[in-house]
Structure 1
């Protein structure tokens, strides 16, 4: 070993340390940072202390590995340029995010940003303790949403590694001037890891394998569902109009909304009505965006209760449940028509309804794509009713007249087609049905024989909690019960998903596996086994058993 060159010796120590870390974790090193025990968000019930010791040991080993990787890189840099160590204050070139975004592969070099700095991490990709695939998800974009998922990154030695790969700074004026005549030219930048389903308006979902890496979804990776251009709102001039009884109008500025009403927080999952629509397209073509399994995300929302604001405007409990609360957004089409939706009055006024006019997301102000400065968050209800960029609230005997309330987001029989559909015959979707999906392993993956770990999410609308997730490795002939993690929420107010995982032996002699999952909620609702009976022309409410076919590697 002493005869090895310094660089080779450093790499040998790195590889050996990563193998030791894997042993400490009991699996691949990336498992050390997944499902880290958290009292705030739930823990695994069995083996916590043992697992915590393994994670701590693995963390120490990964820290050593990271230090060795940095030392290896530093030595190579100094060999190439002996003056590099003596010039820490050297000036760096300036790049735009667009220029950074061109470096997304090993062939084009892999660049990332952290804060205002730009880094070329191509040489570190293969050394990444979590594996090349995870770090490449950040290629061409920001590291922050990925690092937020793994506490191991919040250490000084990790920043030291990153500093060794710095190649430039972001330009303060890196945002280009809006193109004339394009209503979408003012849209905010988005993370390049998102799977884009449409650019104008922008609709995208995160990589499925990231969904179950963290209980709260980082806002940059939270799925994006826009119907119209993102409005640019000046917080100083923003006013929320609330129409009170008798036509009186309450006008609230953003500071007034924050100071006059107590702040309330709720952890809630939002899901697009079209989540998993692509599976319905495999039966018969449907009209709508080709969503996969990731048009669903979870955040901690903060804001004022809608019921407090309606009470302040003069509404009480005397109105019947037949009334509706209507919302209008600041996002408008070229004709000036705004996006709108409504929810039942009873939901809005219920103490246990937890409906918010939210101005915070995961402890920070709302990002533009998610409704800045104020949006509606209606826990347990389809995402389409959670109106963003909120401008107006009114109570009405009628539902919102908006196209998206009257002529979209409704479910129909498989026998109904576009020649026979009558949107007035179906109620608008509010609460969503029980849902679950497999996020890891991905479809068509090849896994080694032995034990297999399967991960996914489960959620049900209306505040119904998930009591069980069943997983099958043989297409539904036999079943295992998965372990669940996540925030414990009160009965009837279980607004957030449960993350689940199952580790099971691969059946001896298997060459292929048909993995299936299905969830059961507190009302004992269960997912249908196939898509065909729930197919509908808009491809909404897709919640059949989720199926993933994989291959087992042969010795």
Structure 2
């Protein structure tokens, strides 16, 4: 497309922070160290996880760059950056999470396929841009529309990104039209991240941000927007990112029996301690994140220092100095909540965290119960082993 190039190789990749934990070099997939992740409520761009399916696209002419809006609409349109900049500008604080977050731990139960993410394949950022609901009004689709006059019911986002799963074709995904045209859903065509223009890894010059939904639907390097009668038929909608029961394996899988995953379930993880942590007897800080999909706030985070026999409630917070209250006007509904509690540790033990959202959804206890062959949505209780060393008196 004009102004945006998808390179055929990895020779022009952008620079990345040297502290990132690299899970795949080509394509580049990396996450921060867990101890760095929850140091701030807003994740610095350098430490925001990188999820790519191919070489990172390059903008060679921002003036010529445009997005085609087409499909089941009467007035197709080419949208240039200057058109998007003229629309009302919104900022939404939202956590994006890869569906494969915590896949490595799930793979320890039974092997799964996919990038081996630890607990940091997510981040919380301030995304700024135009609301998709306003953009769609430019082509005659009113707000709160679930079906166009020509029968469109889904909005497909197509990237310039080329990936092997699509046999060299573009990455693409879709969301229901009713979600896209609802201003309260806060779906953005974003051009800024944390107050700065998007960098290349995160979709420069323009990406979709779909809050409360797995990151796979927030398409980067936007090429076109198509209004469709049915959901996107791309690989990552139809043959990936679907939740199967533990009984399904690669010999008996039938992709058509499951819907594409959208909202992510309630999730939490401890970030102040490694999987196996050595410490001295005494007070230990347990700190981490909790988040739920669909804009559901976090009602509670429970922490256990005896492997789940007894529990204490952790404090929850978002912005410094402002108490976190679910559904309060000062709380960010699409964003994670950080939690913290100081516990006394005398002997070696297992520390566990689990979160509860406002719909009373709670993380499942055992990873075995939610194991699936693609290793997505590992939301089981997060466990770390603490090894206490007693020095000689």
Q: TM-score, normalised by structure 1?
A: 0.65
Paired with 2:8 and 2:156, the residues of 1 have a C-alpha distance of 30
Cα distance in 1, alignment partners of residues 291 and 43 from structure 2: 15
1:495 aligns with 2:324: no
Question: For 1:476 and 1:182, how far apart are their aligned partners in 2?
Answer: 50
Residue 367 of structure 1 pairs with residue 199 of structure 2: yes
Counterpart check, 1:511 vs 2:347: yes
Q: Determine if the alignment matches structure 1 residue 338 to structure 2 residue 170.
A: yes
Mapped to 2, the partners of 1:423 and 1:549 lie a distance apart of: 37
User: Is the Cα–Cα contact under 8 Å of residues 476 and 516 in structure 1 kept in the other structure?
Assistant: yes
How big is each residue's C-alpha offset from its partner over 1:99-143, in whole Å with a ceiling of 9 and x where there is no partner?
A: xxxxxxxxxxxxxxxxxxxxxxxxxxxxxxxxxxxxxxxxxxxxx
SS in 2 for 1:220: helix
Bigger fraction of residues in helix: 1
Paired residues of 2:284 and 2:344 also in contact (CA < 8 A): yes
Q: Which residue of 2 aligns with 1:227?
A: 53
8 Å contact kept, 2:356–2:362: yes
1:233, distance to aligned residue in structure 2 (A): 1.5
User: Which of 291, 299, 304 is the matching residue for 1:459?
Assistant: 291
Structure 2 CA distance, aligned partners of 1:340 and 1:387? 7
Q: Does 1:287 align with 2:113?
A: yes
Q: CA deviation at 1:490?
A: 3.8
Describe the SS at the equivalent of 2:45: coil
Distance 2:236 2:253 in 1: 16
Q: 1:479 aligns with which of 306, 311, 318?
A: 311
Gaps of 5+ in 2: 1-6
- Alpha carbons 1:464, 1:493 under 8 Å: kept: no
Counterpart residue number, 1:255: 82
SS at match of 1:302: strand
Residues 252, 382 of structure 1: alpha-carbon distance in 2 compared, 3 angstrom cutoff: same
Give the aligned CA root-mean-square deviation in angstroms.
1.8
Shift of 1:232: 0.6
Secondary structure of the 1:475 match is coil
Query: Is 1:329 matched up with 2:148?
Result: no
2:380 is the alignment partner of 1:544? yes
Q: Which runs of 5+ in 1 are unaligned?
A: 1-180
Shift of 1:533: 0.8
| Equivalent in the alignment of 1:399 | 231
Question: Offset at 1:247?
Answer: 4.9
- Partners of 1:416 and 1:347 in 2: how far apart? 31
By percentage of residues, which structure has more strand? 2
CA contact (8 A) 1:245 1:314 kept: no
Q: Tell me whether 1:183 sits opposite 2:9 in the alignment.
A: yes
Within a 5 Å distance, the mapping from 1:292-441 to structure 2 comes to 292-316=118-142, 317-320=144-147, 323-333=153-163, 336-441=168-273
Deviates more, 1:530-539 or 1:248-257: 248-257
Q: Which residue does the alignment assign to 2:25?
A: 199
The answer as to whether partners of 2:103 and 2:117 remain within 8 angstroms in 1 is yes
1:368 Cα deviation from its structure 2 partner:
0.3
Q: Hey, which bits of structure 1, 4+ residues long, moved more than 3 A?
A: 244-247, 317-322, 333-336, 487-493
Query: 1:443, CA displacement in angstroms?
Result: 2.3
SS in 1 for 2:237: helix
User: Matches of 1:276 and 1:336 in 2, distance apart?
Assistant: 28
The alignment status of 1:528 with 2:364, answered yes or no, reads yes
Mean Cα deviation higher: 312-321 or 200-209: 312-321
Structure 1 position 220, deviation (Å)? 1.1
